[in-house]
Structure 1
């Protein structure tokens, strides 16, 4: 099928996410391999965002495709009440990979479903109802997870179910809890404890955090934050849930983001890199104490496709590829290259505000003046950012431009040469935002 036929039929008969159908300009994709994907006419794109920060091992890895083929020949689907070899193997594999006492897993089809079931598990286990989360967060697009989410996509989905309490991040969008990381941590946790007091500690089941804030800034937590947060929550019997949907499975240079911070949550949620998006699969991992509770008490959650054999085969092969090809180590090694490229851009471009990277989890913010004012307001846009996004697309770089920032999240199999190839396109593109810089 030619590109325009693809586009026309998809726009006529399907709905797209987070946009009006008339506004979407989909990229027609025929095939993908490694860090690149191609249109039917052969135009090549460097995938600088791993699609939705999810194709961690790269596209079309033959080992994953073969594993899925073999599973299809054996059994593709059986109902969730069965036991299968692939379910047993993947659960055991995860129990060995996830640190601490998280050894039991409930399989879903997405990060949103993983978080949805984590809400159920936390409420059932604690006997409490309220859930804390942060404003600069995204946890999914189901009914409950939209209310768990803090970012503006929540607004159109309100009013939602009750019981969700939002709090400020340790590094909010405008307000500052302090200059040093230690001060940000101390003041935010002091503020959070006061919120807990106001809400009633005995009413709060859990707090959900993206270990490293993803879509809303790719913001690693300040020093001591996660450890201090875990201690504060434990003081009041509140569970800590780490959403690792985006930052898990090697993205940050460690298998899981929370491994950077000397802490183990009570519940961890995952998806995306779990299968590198070769098939839909998510998981909720729970501590031994929570798992023991649900051995004696019903877990009131169920999904037709819970523990789907084909999806689990994709997870098993994808994780094994990640381990065998040392892709987590590659992400850790290339962090310094990404930071070096960001530093080079900052020297060259007055519109460059800030670059952040942990492993191959990166984002660049753009400014409109020397005061450091962002080029686009919160939940807003700027013509120069629209032009920048078009420049990236015209020059074969695929990434996400959002408000006054853009993302740098390539597959973990990327080479140093390919990474610098992407930044060379960014370098040329930022001449557009420089032209809009007001001095």
Structure 2
């Protein structure tokens, strides 16, 4: 494909795919088996290809376009910043970065006055781990098996899922099981039992590792890619107590859950817990320009008043990314985007998914909050055997054929539209998903 080729429509889509597959090494993929999905543009909760085929985006891409596609205020802010100052060294103070930090800190709990900016969520977690280790003088970091924290050295080893295993080069990482009542590791028969036993297990891991060697507990406030595992009441408060008991730093990873996704500015707002470090990215500016960061508590920030913080990035606080943050957060506040996410989850997605669970035998469990939901699919509701990969692939194909862009992970469909989704769009997406699941259920041999 060259710039002079007069291609349009489906021919242009085909040329885009051919060039992409020929020249781009894709992440998390066997390169001989790549998807052929093309996006040419988007607006709000919809995307389309060059041929004009349109999809309702129920994935928010990688659960990051919280404010939707091509929000005009954010696009305009990036353009204006590009005319003013496209880039500058992070050692140089610039107006956009200061404003972005102020906007973010305005949503933080009391006791936070500093932000360390990164390029995304992985290096946010990387630097939070570094801060915790330097602050405590300890090495180990405890995280959970059902988690994803990013694809850099320490972040991917803190991750619990399969992506950790071929990448285990970082030191000092320990894993435990978090609460997941539907597939309890603790033989729990209630949420209360799951909470109590998961906390006991976590504390025993800390004790057995030696509390004096543990720097931090790192948790996704709500594990996202692992299945939107909303913690039971009291769990995060219990983790906070364990950290206080043994002098550990509590790092809450809000990369996916933060900035409106759960119907709150931060997911921990609904759990009455204040962490020591908060990592963020994705929804802070909907990924319009790569950005992330660490909210640093005053106690930990003071560690580096006279001591050099040994970390930095060329693009830390990049002006275009910072302008996108300011515009996105201002628009979210002015337009009630976070409140919309909470209401749509409460009034449309939650009830709609509960009805889907009641009618379809493939649905083992539905869980979530705001615009952050997972539908866990099973081959047998009694044994809870996960739905096979072939069926999940068919579900994804049928959703795309019927105009819905889904987020499919293992045996789950995650229902994660942008926070600006309307009631009608939410109902439209649910109707498509329900129809797909009915057809797949009807075609299975056990149906």
TM-score of Structure 1 vs Structure 2, range by shorter chain: over 0.9
Cross-structure match for 2:321: 311
Counterpart position of 2:196: 186
Find 1:374's aligned residue among 380, 385, 398: 385
Q: Distance in 1 between matches of 2:32 and 2:355?
A: 39
For the residues of structure 2 that align with 1:134 and 1:6, how far apart are their CA atoms? 39
Matched, 1:168 2:211: no
Counterparts of residues 39-438 of structure 1 (less than 5 Å): 39-158=49-168, 160-171=169-180, 173-336=183-346, 337-376=348-387, 381-434=388-441, 435-436=443-444, 438=446
Deviation of 1:176 (Å): 3.2
Q: Aligned partners of 1:297, 1:370: CA distance in 2, in Å?
A: 56
Whole-Å separation in 2 of the counterparts to 1:115 and 1:382? 31
TM-score by length of 1: 0.96
Please say if residues 184 and 194 of structure 2, whose CA atoms lie closer than 8 Å, have aligned partners that are also in contact: no
Which residue is equivalent to 2:3? none
Greater displacement, 132-141 / 333-342:
333-342
CA contact (8 A) 2:186 2:198 kept: no
* Structure 1 residue 372, shift from structure 2 partner: 4.1
Show structure 1 runs of 5+ residues with no match.
Answer: none
Equivalent residue number for residue 38 of structure 1: 48
Question: In structure 2, how many angstroms separate the alpha carbons of the residues matched to 1:368 and 1:182?
Answer: 27
**How many residues in Structure 1 have an aligned counterpart in Structure 2?**
434
SS in 1 for 2:385: coil
**Structure 1 residues 56 and 437, CA gap change in structure 2 (3 angstroms):** farther
Tell me the TM-score normalised to structure 2 length: 0.95
Please report how far the alpha carbon of residue 177 of structure 1 lies from its aligned counterpart in structure 2 after TM superposition: 4.8
Q: Tell me how far apart the structure 2 counterparts of residues 319 and 98 of structure 1 sit (CA, whole Å).
A: 13
Contact 1:332–1:359 under 8 Å retained in 2? yes
- Gapped regions of structure 2 (runs ≥ 5): 1-6
Q: Report the alpha carbon displacement of residue 433 of structure 1 after superposing the two structures with TM.
A: 3.3
Q: Distance in 2 between matches of 1:138 and 1:280?
A: 18
Residues 372 and 423 (structure 1 numbering): CA distance in 2 closer, same or farther, change over 3 Å? farther
Q: Which moved more, 1:87-96 or 1:166-175?
A: 166-175
The residue matched to 1:121 in structure 2 has which SS? helix
Cα shift at 1:324: 0.6
Contact 2:186–2:197 (CA under 8 A) maintained in structure 1: no
Distance of 1:278 and 1:382 partners within structure 2: 32
User: Could you give the per-residue CA deviations for residues 204-239 of structure 1, whole angstroms, max 9, x where no partner exists?
Assistant: 000100000101110111110001110111110000
Q: Secondary structure at the match of 1:366?
A: strand
Report the Cα distance in structure 1 between the residues aligned to 2:266 and 2:209, rounded to whole angstroms.
31
2: distance between equivalents of 1:278 and 1:148? Answer: 27
Q: Shift of the alpha carbon at 1:90?
A: 1.1
**Partner secondary structure for residue 383 of structure 1:** helix
State the secondary structure of the residue aligned to 1:105: strand
User: What is the alpha-carbon root mean square deviation over aligned residues?
Assistant: 1.3
